[in-house]
């Protein structure tokens, strides 16, 4: 079957690969102060959010990304009361956080308020957690916002875009240090750290930078398969001075969570930290 450009959208990565979807309708397009925002209706992926030409959210697989960003840290810390999400204007991470009744407050710091507005309108299921009374939305640069907090949060989740434009600062060591200092004793942070297949240099630099910031062997990368992202194999890095999430005792999910998740479970938690040989080699180099 040939691809007709007026019926397909393609994210081209590095000028050498592309991921495409057939769309039935473009639902929205506008340019904010920071980026171009598009929403498509598709037969295969449901609604799709595109920022500056890159996949950000699909109704078909966004649950994988959001559950794996949030639940490994929440399970590792246990009984987290105060959570900060940096980036994540789609609201998906917040929606996962507020599934925990012990959480007393969740702050979403997103630089682009238009992303929040668009996702509330077109992705109400993904962004539903933004309606929780425990959630506060702050429209600010996350790298600046985090600097005012010392020993404040149980969990910090960095749901950043790729390291370009306003997202570049979220992959730099001064930001890593600010996140570390914002955590309470026994807290944890998770950073999305890109694809080890297609973004090897960014992945290695991020993991090693986090390891240097949090202390040797206190930054633990883990993996998930997200079909709509470049390379599909995606990485996150969990950082904590108090816990080793790869070797903690298996936790049993609360009953309300075990029936309310679509990807994460205790077995997935531990298997995600088992890195393939090629990933181990690149981090050892």
Q: Do domains 8-58 and 62-284 have the same CATH topology?
A: no
Q: Is the pLDDT of residue 221 over 70?
A: yes
* Segments of 113-193 assigned E as strands: 135-138, 153-159, 183-192
User: Please, which pLDDT band fits residue 199 given cuts at 50, 70 and 90?
Assistant: very high
User: Please, which pLDDT band fits residue 160 given cuts at 50, 70 and 90?
Assistant: confident
Q: Mean pLDDT, the chain, as a whole number?
A: 92
CA 96 to chain centroid: 11
**Domain 62-284 - what CATH class?**
alpha beta
State the average pLDDT over residues 10-16: 87
Domain boundaries, the chain: 8-58, 62-284
Q: Is the pLDDT of residue 84 over 80?
A: yes
Largest pairwise CA distance in the chain:
57
State the average pLDDT over residues 177-186: 96
Q: Kindly write down the DSSP assignment for every residue of 174-185, as one continuous string.
A: HHHHHHHHHEEE
User: Please, which pLDDT band fits residue 179 given cuts at 50, 70 and 90?
Assistant: very high
Question: 159 catalytic, yes or no?
Answer: yes
Q: Is the pLDDT of residue 1 over 50?
A: no
Can you say whether residue 246 is alpha, beta or left, with left for phi > 0 and alpha for psi between -120 and 50 degrees? alpha
What pLDDT is stored for residue 251 in this prediction? 63
State the average pLDDT over residues 245-255: 68
* 9-16: Cβ within 8 A, 24+ apart: 9/40, 9/48, 9/50, 11/50, 11/53, 11/54, 11/55, 11/230, 12/53, 13/198, 13/230, 14/198
Rounded to whole angstroms, the Cα distance separating 23 from 281 reads 39
> How many alpha carbons fall within 13 Å on the CB side of residue 1?
6
Helix, strand or coil, per DSSP, at residue 116: helix
Percentage with pLDDT > 70 across the chain: 95
Distances (CA, A) of 231 to 2, 12, 144, 194, 280: 23, 12, 31, 10, 18
The sheet with strand 105-109 has its strands ordered as 135-138, 105-109, 82-87, 153-159, 183-192, 233-239, 219-225
Q: In CATH, which of 2.30.140.10, 3.90.226.10, 3.65.10.10, 1.10.3720.10 is domain 8-58?
A: 2.30.140.10
- Active-site residue identified among 61, 112, 159, 211: 159
State the average pLDDT over residues 24-53: 97
What pLDDT is stored for residue 283 in this prediction? 96
Q: Is the pLDDT of residue 167 over 50?
A: yes
| Residue count of the chain | 285
CB 236 within 8 A of CB 191: yes
């Amino acid at each position: 079957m040939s691809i007709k450009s007026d019926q397909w959208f393609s994210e081209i990565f590095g000028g050498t690969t592309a991921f495409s979807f057939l769309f039935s309708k473009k639902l929205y397009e506008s340019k904010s102060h920071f980026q171009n925002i598009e929403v498509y209706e598709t037969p295969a992926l449901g609604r799709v959010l595109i920022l500056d030409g890159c996949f950000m959210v699909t109704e078909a697989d966004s649950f994988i990304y959001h559950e794996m960003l949030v639940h490994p840290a929440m399970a590792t810390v246990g009984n987290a009361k105060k959570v900060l999400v940096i980036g994540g204007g789609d609201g998906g991470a917040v929606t996962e956080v507020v599934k925990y009744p012990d959480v007393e407050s969740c702050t979403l710091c997103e630089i682009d308020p238009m992303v929040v507005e668009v996702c509330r309108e077109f992705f109400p299921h993904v962004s539903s957690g933004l309606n929780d009374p425990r959630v506060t939305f702050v429209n600010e640069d996350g790298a600046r916002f985090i600097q005012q907090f010392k020993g404040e949060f149980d969990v910090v989740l960095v749901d950043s875009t790729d390291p370009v434009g306003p997202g570049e600062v979220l992959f730099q060591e001064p930001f890593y240090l600010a996140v570390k200092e914002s955590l309470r004793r026994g807290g944890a942070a998770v950073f999305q750290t890109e694809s080890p297949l297609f973004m090897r240099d960014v992945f290695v630099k991020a993991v090693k930078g986090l390891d240097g910031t949090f202390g040797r062997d206190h930054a633990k990368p883990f993996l998930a398969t997200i079909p709509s992202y470049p390379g599909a194999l995606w990485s996150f890095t969990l950082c904590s001075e108090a816990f080793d999430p790869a070797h903690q005792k298996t936790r049993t999910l609360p009953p309300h969570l075990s029936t309310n998740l679509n990807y994460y479970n205790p077995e997935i938690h531990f298997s995600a930290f088992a890195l393939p040989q090629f990933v181990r080699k690149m981090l050892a180099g």
